[in-house]
């Protein structure tokens, strides 16, 4: 009977979600999403580049009361391409997240940062290009068992005069992520 009570207690503890308490702690996660790169300066319909992307991110959160801020770095790979063989490649960046716990298990946040995108221009003939831009967005976090959290996020990154070429690039991303505090 004692073993049954101990097992029941441990099982119930494992099933309790980690609260959305964003204390002073590191975190590491993985993301999967859809991205669309809008390219201005290309004359035909082949200008947009879209597809799936995946990546990793990590950071440090500092909590105070129901609010928190976090510094975060990220790295993603993409399979986004178009009919002109323009392909989005690696992307990496740094950002600051500021959030608020609206309930015990859910928080809302905003993001502001700097993102670098690599692009293979394919049939456009400009080779491999790289440019940085301002990334901003909003998201929602929710708590899951064992200090795991989920995240749904929308971001936009604005690049101007991509690597000195005559086109601009803006990127929209929607992603779902799982991360863990340490």
Question: Three-class SS of residue 5?
Answer: helix
**Beta bridge partners of residue 44, listed in sequence order:** none
Identify which of 140, 145, 72 has the alpha carbon closest to the alpha carbon of residue 100: 140
At residue 16 the predicted structure's pLDDT band, cuts being 50, 70 and 90, is: very low
Question: Domain segments of the chain: what residues?
Answer: 19-181
Q: With b meaning 16 or more CB within 10 Å and e meaning fewer, what string describes 21-47?
A: bbeebebebebebebebebeebeeebb
| DSSP output for 116-156 | EEEEE-GGG---EEEEEEEEEEEEEEEE-BTTEEEEEEEEE
Per-residue pLDDT of 46-61, as tens digits, reads: 568 889 999 999 999 9
Per-residue pLDDT of 23-47, as tens digits, reads: 789 999 999 999 998 877 655 555 6
Q: So what CATH class is 19-181?
A: mainly beta
The predicted model scores a pTM of: 0.81
Conformational region of residue 57, where left means phi above 0, alpha means psi within -120 to 50, and beta covers everything else: beta
Q: Compare 76 and 1 and report the one with higher pLDDT.
A: 76
Gap between the Cα atoms of 60 and 102, Å rounded: 20
Identify which of 51, 52, 90, 99 has the alpha carbon closest to the alpha carbon of residue 72: 99
Per-residue pLDDT of 59-91, as tens digits, reads: 999 999 999 999 999 999 998 888 777 788 899
């Amino acid at each position: 009977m004692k073993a049954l009570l101990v097992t029941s207690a441990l099982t119930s503890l494992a099933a309790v979600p980690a609260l959305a308490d964003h204390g002073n702690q590191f975190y590491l996660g993985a993301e999967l999403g859809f991205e669309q790169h809008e390219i201005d300066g290309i004359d035909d319909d082949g200008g947009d580049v879209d597809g799936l992307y995946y990546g990793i991110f990590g950071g440090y959160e500092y909590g105070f009361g129901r609010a928190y801020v976090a510094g975060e770095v990220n790295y993603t790979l993409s399979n986004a391409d178009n009919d002109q063989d323009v392909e989005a490649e690696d992307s990496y960046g740094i950002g600051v997240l500021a959030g608020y716990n609206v309930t015990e298990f859910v928080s809302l946040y905003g993001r502001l940062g700097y993102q670098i995108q690599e692009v293979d221009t394919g049939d456009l003939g400009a080779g491999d290009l790289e440019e940085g831009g301002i990334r901003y967005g909003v998201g929602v976090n929710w708590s899951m068992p064992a200090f795991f959290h989920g995240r749904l996020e929308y971001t936009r990154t604005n690049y101007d005069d991509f690597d000195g070429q005559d086109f601009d690039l803006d990127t929209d991303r929607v992603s779902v992520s799982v991360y863990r505090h340490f």
